[in-house]
Amino acid sequence: MNPSDDDIAFLANSENRVDLLRCLTGGRHARDGLITKVGVSRVTLGRILDELAQRHWITQEGQVATITPLGEWVLDEYESFSEMMTAERRLREVFQWFPDEEYGFHISHLADAKITTVSPANASAPLSRHVRQFDTGGTFWSFSFAITRLFLESCWRHVKNEEITFDWVFTEQVLDVLKSDPELSRQSREMLNSGRVEYRHFAGSIPYIVLGSAEMVNLRLADDDGSPTALVESDADAVREWAESTFDSYWADATPVETDAFIG
């Protein structure tokens, strides 16, 4: 085992040790005050202080303890690692639904993303959250391989109320669904006639379901059948840059869909 692993385990296996280092970042502290703040016995406190001092993370002068620059560095890096692992655990739960073709940004850029997943009590939570993005109004754009009735109806309602504009590039399979369903076809025709919406269909495959706006990028995850499983919302610059450039690429290579493709 790497000797450094012992120090990592030393902190990870005792929240009291981490709490004590945190307390000491505020300056010199007397032992009596630390007992109350950390919530340990005098014997336990003395043992922990001695262990920290042996590593030169703190110094002790009589009954007063002070964190060293080395200890501050250790604490900063440990807490950063802990935050990263917390984010990783959240992403781990939905990673199984990430598309086979990777997103064009490092997954670490999703560390602060909001994640909504399906649950037995609310199987439609990701999709409901997805379409609520339209409630903010404004300009939206999307590229996707799947369509849901809730998504299109929400888009249609906001377009009808002149609350949003929307550019959407999708696969030929999505176009077939829109054309074959009378209600979706009617709504699509009305949106295109409004002048606030433009459709384009892409001849190849699109492995993603992405909705973007000025505030947020939504990555909607789905299972092999296209059913919504989770929604990842991010405002990270790297995510937005990838999403916008990918949309522009699909859009440039796609074919405009005219209103006569749909029934009235």
CATH of the domain at 222: 3.30.870.10
Q: What is the pLDDT of residue 1?
A: 56
- Return per-residue pLDDT of the chain as tens, 264 residues: 566 788 889 898 888 999 999 999 988 889 888 998 888 999 999 999 999 999 999 999 999 999 999 999 999 999 999 999 999 999 999 999 999 899 999 999 999 999 999 988 888 899 899 989 999 999 999 999 999 999 999 999 999 999 999 999 999 999 999 999 999 999 999 999 999 999 999 999 999 999 999 889 999 998 887 788 999 999 999 999 999 999 999 999 999 999 999 976
Do 188 and 257 share a domain, yes or no? yes
Place of tokens 């809730």: 150
Do 154 and 56 share a domain, yes or no? no
Count up the domains in the chain and report the number.
2
Range of the domain at 129: 93-261
Do 182 and 205 share a domain, yes or no? yes
Do 148 and 180 share a domain, yes or no? yes
Largest CA distance in the chain: 86
Place of tokens 């009291």: 16
Task: Tell me the CATH number at 41.
Answer: 1.10.10.10
HSE-CB at 249 with a 13 A cutoff on CA atoms is 9
Q: What is the pLDDT of residue 47?
A: 94
Distances (CA, A) of 62 to 17, 19, 59, 70: 20, 21, 10, 21
Rounded Cα gap, residues 255 and 253, in angstroms: 7
